[in-house]
Amino acid sequence: MREVMTKSMARNIFYGGSLFFILIFLGLSAHSHRYITQTSTDAATLTDSVRHGKHLWEINGCINCHTILGEGAYFAPELGNVMTRWGVNDSPDDAFEMLKAWMQSMPTGIEGRRQMPNFDLTDEEFRAISDFLLWTDSIRNQDWPPTDAG
């Protein structure tokens, strides 16, 4: 082996190493995509109401204050397991009633505490958001949040 690295040797090492790590990156990206779509997502229970609830979550900017499965702002409580905390895991009607009553009781008027805004949601929208929160509580979330308290 030569003691001095030539330009062509350095170029070949650079291109070879770059190609190697690009292939590794693409392989890991494909594996992650397959894992998320086939293993983590519960597509069988993803209804139109759940999709509508997710859309309402996005257009009302709920993620600006709340987290869901660890993603979002940390100002307000985690909502990935809110139905477990409220004890309404398997009952869509109970979840709807609980969410509607809780959101309509806001603002509470407690001094020094920021209040959740009133979004003037219809019953259909309350049902969609409660279905979305029930769905997020039932999916495989890799033990997140770590406690039932969120």
Domain range list for the chain:
1-40, 43-110+117-150
CA distance 150 to 146: 7
Question: CATH topology for 43-110+117-150?
Answer: Cytochrome Bc1 Complex; Chain D, domain 2 (1.10.760)
Cβ pair 91, 79 in contact under 8 A: no
**Cβ-count burial 90-128 (b if 16+ within 10 Å, e if not):** eeeebbbebbbeebeeeeeeeeeeeeeeebebeeebbbb
Is beta strand 71-72 parallel, antiparallel or unpaired with respect to 67-68?
A: antiparallel
Question: Which residue shows structure tokens 């397991």?
Answer: 81
Write the Ramachandran bin of 106: left for phi over 0, alpha for psi from -120 to 50, otherwise beta. beta
Average pLDDT of 86-93? 86
Please state the length of the chain.
Answer: 150
Predicted pLDDT of residue 11: 96
Tens of pLDDT along 21-34? 999 999 999 999 98
Look-up: residue for tokens 């969410």? 99
Both tokens assigned to 127: 């049902």
Q: What is the pLDDT of residues 103-131, one digit of tens each?
A: 988 877 778 777 888 889 999 999 999 99
- Token readout for 7 is 């330009």
For 33-70, the pLDDT digits (tens) are: 988 887 767 778 889 999 999 999 999 999 999 999 88
Provide mean pLDDT across the span 89-98.
90
Instruction: Please tell me the distance from the alpha carbon of residue 30 to that of residue 71, in angstroms, as a whole number.
Output: 22
Cα 81 from chain centroid (whole Å): 11
- Cis ω before 117 (30° cut-off from 0): no
Lowest mean pLDDT among 49-53, 107-111, 139-143, 145-149: 107-111
Quick check: 94 pLDDT over 70?
yes
Average pLDDT estimate for 123-148? 89
pTM: 0.75
Of the pLDDT bands very low, low, confident and very high (cuts 50, 70, 90), residue 90 is confident
